[in-house]
Structure 1
């Protein structure tokens, strides 16, 4: 039984550190952004809109990049919010997404959690238990009724599942598989970009768009950089099947799976 079939079987009708919120891509150049690292496909590039997305990956181990600071990151997939073409001349403002958070507080404690979000609403944590090294799968798809979506999150290591069906008005314009430094809103309402912790290599695999293999090409890569354009996270070339890749933090290069 494939992991997608396993997901289908489950489809039935911290204080003081701030809360992370994902957001649409913040573009620097054709293949660089201030918040995303991974692969982004757009309707203009692919000649189609996106009505489902899926992937598996192993939850990375997070460790402090700088001692004594709160650091935030997520690995996720989503529809909307990305670049419509590989030059990233046009972007999208809608975004439905789900994935895994791996945050670190100033004392060095790591918080792993599964979540989903529909922009502009805030992130919602799920009951799925996750930890470093767990193999997870996420699927997001539109059902027979337009603009009614199902989000499914599975932790295959712990045999834990979550699913929700909800309405969301999407443009269906982009699909993405990324790691991110999210926006952080403090208890006082201060908004900032969360520093990225060190992460072990995040390998996305079994990537699907509209229920078929994603067929990644190198031009779809997006590198995450800081305001000095130094790399924070870099995606690799696609794997041999073109349905997977690696994401590496704090390096300018990343070997393919």
Structure 2
């Protein structure tokens, strides 16, 4: 019980956090948030790139990236007959390499039962669930990933709706060549999962290296699974630091600035 109470504190550090929180819930298949998988066979006029596991915005022109922040609304996972998964997250790397440091939320559904969770992850490990944050659809999450001295990075995630918060310091040595705000179909049981019918989510606002990211449509990407476009971002909002992303092929309107 003493150790469990430690998990509920606002801050935990390094391997202590990993040991206390553990991997994905016992008995469940490991969920891994993989780098972008390009979908070169897909054609789209809604975005600059397409992928079988990512949609949203990724920037590469301001590297190296040493800090990213983001705010998003947790979407509801619609009822499906088979298991479907969706993740909202911010991260550094993964767009054009195999490295990735990230934190986010899950909105999953299996046989009509929706489940929600918070997590952090540094590849090649699978996600580590954050038990001190209880996630609900509609909750507003804020997150940051910031480089400290050497290879030390601080990952912070807060549910501003409920007040739950978590922070951990971890080692990361990736090249820092991209920064992302992503709606994802994670990998489950070694395969990219079918995307949950998540409706719509808003990422707004976000920063990179401490400033406005200056998002453009040239940074945006759609998700295509089985030749069907299943997730589509909006154009950036008026102050270029946010966007909406919606299930399906229709382009949603951007959020109000």
Give TM-score, length-normalised by structure 1.
Answer: 0.84
Provide structure 1 residue ranges, at least 5 long, that are not aligned to the other structure.
1-9, 83-90, 186-190
Contact 1:246 1:256 in 2 (8 A): yes
Secondary structure (helix, strand or coil) at the match of 1:102 reads strand
- Equivalent position to 1:26, from 28, 34, 37: 37
Q: What is the alpha-carbon distance in structure 1 between the residues aligned to residue 38 and residue 185 of structure 2?
A: 14
Partner of residue 76, structure 2: 61
Q: What is the alpha-carbon distance in structure 2 between the residues aligned to residue 120 and residue 153 of structure 1?
A: 20
Q: What is the alpha-carbon distance in structure 1 between the residues aligned to residue 217 and residue 166 of structure 2?
A: 32
Q: What is the alpha-carbon distance in structure 1 between the residues aligned to residue 249 and residue 27 of structure 2?
A: 31
CA RMSD of aligned residues (A): 1.6
Partner of residue 94, structure 2: 81
Secondary structure (helix, strand or coil) at the match of 1:219 reads helix
- Equivalent position to 1:238, from 215, 236, 239: 236
Provide structure 2 residue ranges, at least 5 long, that are not aligned to the other structure.
1-9, 14-24, 41-47
**Superposition pairs for residues 1-257 of structure 1, below 5 Å?**
18-29=29-40, 31-42=49-60, 45-46=61-62, 48-64=63-79, 66-67=80-81, 69-82=82-95, 91-106=96-111, 108-127=112-131, 128-143=133-148, 145-185=149-189, 191-228=190-227, 230-257=228-255
Q: What is the alpha-carbon distance in structure 1 between the residues aligned to residue 26 and residue 165 of structure 2?
A: 26
Q: What is the alpha-carbon distance in structure 1 between the residues aligned to residue 34 and residue 173 of structure 2?
A: 16
Could you list the per-position Cα deviations for residues 23-59 of structure 1 after superposition, in whole angstroms to 9, with x for gaps in the alignment?
Answer: 00001245101100000111xx33x310010111111
How far the C-alpha of 1:15 sits from its partner, in A, is 6.1
The alignment of Structure 1 onto Structure 2 pairs a total of residues equal to 227
Partner of residue 85, structure 1: none
Contact 1:63 1:198 in 2 (8 A): yes
In structure 2, do the counterparts of structure 1 residues 17 and 125 end up closer, same or farther at CA, with 3 Å as the change threshold?
closer
Could you list the per-position Cα deviations for residues 151-210 of structure 1 after superposition, in whole angstroms to 9, with x for gaps in the alignment?
Answer: 00001111110000011111111000010001111xxxxx22211111131100011100
Secondary structure (helix, strand or coil) at the match of 1:238 reads coil
Give TM-score, length-normalised by structure 2.
Answer: 0.84
